[in-house]
Amino acid sequence: MPIYNKLVRDRIPYIIKENGKRAKVSILTEKNYFDELRIKAKEELDEYLNAETNEAALEELADLLEIMNGLVKLHSSSMEEVEAIRKRKAEDRGAFEDRVFLIEVEDFD
């Protein structure tokens, strides 16, 4: 019997049941949910970094976006606010489109 002890998507227990198995679950407190979302974000980022195809990479990016949705709500905000912050930062400091790689900064004494 595998033991997972990890945050899963909401429908996973139902899918497990549809497959003739039983899932033991618990509902996390807000604090534990926040902690587990952060752990899940690291897990999904690692999976994205190890993706070997564009399709697999996009699947993992979609998972990261779902986790971001949960984290944004816990910060009492919205994806629209995150997008506004992203746009402001892109206007103020630029985006990452030009592929600029900073090597060093020299002081003018």
- What is the per-residue pLDDT for 109? 80
Does the residue 76 lie in any domain? yes
Enter the pTM of the model: 0.87
By residue range, what is the domain housing residue 35? Answer: 12-93
Residue 78 CB partners (closer than 8 Å, separation 6+): 72
- Over residues 55-67, mean pLDDT: 98
- Domain contains 5: no
- The answer to whether residue 60 is domain-embedded is yes
Q: How many structural domains does the chain have?
A: 1
What pLDDT, on a 0 to 100 scale, did the predictor assign at position 19?
97
Mean of all residue pLDDT scores within the chain: 97
Whether residue 87 lies inside any domain: the answer is yes
**Domain contains 103:** no
Asked whether residue 109 is domain-assigned, the answer is: no
Asked if the structure places residue 6 within a domain, the reply is: no
Residue 105 falls inside a structural domain = no
As a whole-number percent, the residues of the chain with pLDDT over 90 amount to 97
- What's residue 107's pLDDT? 95
